[in-house]
Amino acid sequence: MLAVLQRVSEARVVVDGDTIGEIGPGLLALVCAEHGDTPAEADKLLARILKLRIFADEAGRMNHSLQDVAGGLLVVSQFTLAADTGGGNRPSFSKAADPRTGEALYEHFVASARAAHPVVQTGRFAADMKVRLVNDGPVTIPLRIPPAS
């Protein structure tokens, strides 16, 4: 599974003019399932996200995790993270999981996140979403958990 994390001061997701997910300080996690991913990869990705030390400590060093700072987590599905741009000007998304599998893994990820962290908001799978955020830092971190072989 893939994720792009953005440390934010605030973030929200809007669908059809309605805000459906919103957090204050924390992380916006754009997530994508690839072919071969299973709930095990989703669980590993979530564990990395929750424990990744990208928040400042008292000395201003990145030593605190999302859990340490009790920040919000906004989870948004984004299949375009699996884009292959090596073959021309039009990206291929053939590495992304099929929509049914992608949605099941996204829902698993969200349920696991809600069980492990107190503040979890989401976008809507396969919706046309508008994501608004204030990137803090800016800090943007890509993560990839490869499928088990």
Write the DSSP assignment of 50-75 as a string of letters: HH---EE-TTSSEEE-HHHHT-EEEE
**Quick one: pLDDT at residue 147?**
86
Give catalytic residue positions: 78-80
Per-residue pLDDT reduced to its tens digit, 99-139: 999 999 999 999 999 999 999 999 999 999 999 999 999 99
CB contact at 8 A, 147 and 40: no
Domains of the chain, first to last: 2-132 (3.50.80.10)
Other CB atoms within a 10 A radius of the CB of residue 87 amount to 8
**Quick one: pLDDT at residue 149?**
66
Do the bridges between strand 2-15 and strand 26-32 make them parallel or antiparallel, or are there none, so unpaired? antiparallel
**Quick one: pLDDT at residue 24?**
98
